[in-house]
Every structure is written in structure tokens, then in C-alpha cells.
Amino acid sequence: MGEKMNATDQLRENMRYWATGVAIVCVASGQSRHGMTISSFTSLSLLPPRILISIDKTTRSHQLIEQKQSFCVTLLNSTQENIAQAFAGKISESQDRFEATEWMDSDQGNPIISGGLAYFDCVVRETVDSGSHSIFIGELLSAGKPNGQIEGAQPLLYFDRDYRFISN
């Protein structure tokens, strides 16, 4: 069986086999804006329409979401791996991750990544403390398809520590 792993390492190792869509959560508050790649995103309720995201407490995105009490999630398409990588840390927390990315403001002033499959602009209705992360429950204020969306585009997926896409 090999070397025994602690629970954190076991979770990290085994979650690599859970295929998930790739999304970017964005928030802008005052002169500050930030975004980061997330995989902890899901629909929660249709009535009222709510989604949830899980964000590490040490990130700028977390601080700005707490401050503004809103966020926007864009689902990426299979051609946007470079954007996913940039917002996952290829471009540091202190740099402007939006500089090389086309985006527009949501009704709440949060960035929407152009060319994504869909976006969800939310106001925070509840925050749940959970270890190193906070779960933000957002109520949907608006949703749609970002400008530049590619007709027939496929989702960008993450599986086994690599970006993937659906092949027909």
C-alpha cells in the first residue's frame, strides 16, 4: 500500500479524480478588483435562485467579497485554459490578472470574463465558516452569456490535475 498519507494529502490525492467545470469568480470594490479560478461552485436552490462558492480565506478575492458582499462567476469554455491558468496563480495575487483578458462589468460592477459559456452575478446572502475556506451563498441577481461567447462552445474541465475538454 505504500506510505501512509495524512487526511489532507488523502483528500487532495483522491479529489483529483473528480471531474469539474472550471470557473472564474470576480469581484470589484472601489478601485480594487480581483479574480481567481475556482472549482468549488455549484447551484444550491432554484427558489430563491442561489449558488455557492468556496474561497480560501487568505486570498484577495475573499477579502473583496466580504467587503462588497457580491461576486460574479464566469464558466470558462474549452479554449480558455490560458485564462484559467492566469487566474489560478500563473499571474500572482498582486498583479492585475485582468490586463491580458477581455472582460466587462456586470450590473453590480463585478467583472465578467468575455467568451465564457455563462455568468452568474450574485449578492451574498450567507457566509459559512469552514476551516481554511468560507462558503459564500450568493443569490442570483442576473445571469447570461458573456459577450464574445462562441456558438457551440464546450466547457473547460479539470480532471487528474490537468485541464480537459469534452470530445465528440
CATH class of 21-159: mainly beta
Reading the block at residue 137, the C-alpha cell is: 451563498
What's the pLDDT at 12?
Answer: 77
Average pLDDT over residues 28-33: 88
pLDDT > 90? residue 94: no
| Distance from C-alpha of 136 to C-alpha of 10, rounded to nearest angstrom | 25
Instruction: Write down the pLDDT at residue 107.
Output: 93
pLDDT number for residue 52: 97
Amino acid letter, 101: T
For residues 35 and 87, is the Cβ–Cβ distance under 8 A?
yes
Q: Which of 117, 64, 134 is nearest to 93 (CA)?
A: 64
Structure confidence by residue, pLDDT tens digits, 32-61? 899 999 989 999 999 999 999 999 999 989
One-letter amino acid at 149 equals: Q
Give 111-146 pLDDT, tens digit per residue: 999 999 999 999 999 999 999 999 999 999 999 998
Tell me the domain boundaries of the chain: 21-159
Query: Mean pLDDT across the stretch 137-163?
Result: 87
Peptide bond before 48: cis, by omega within 30 degrees of 0?
A: yes
Query: Cell for 5?
Result: 498519507
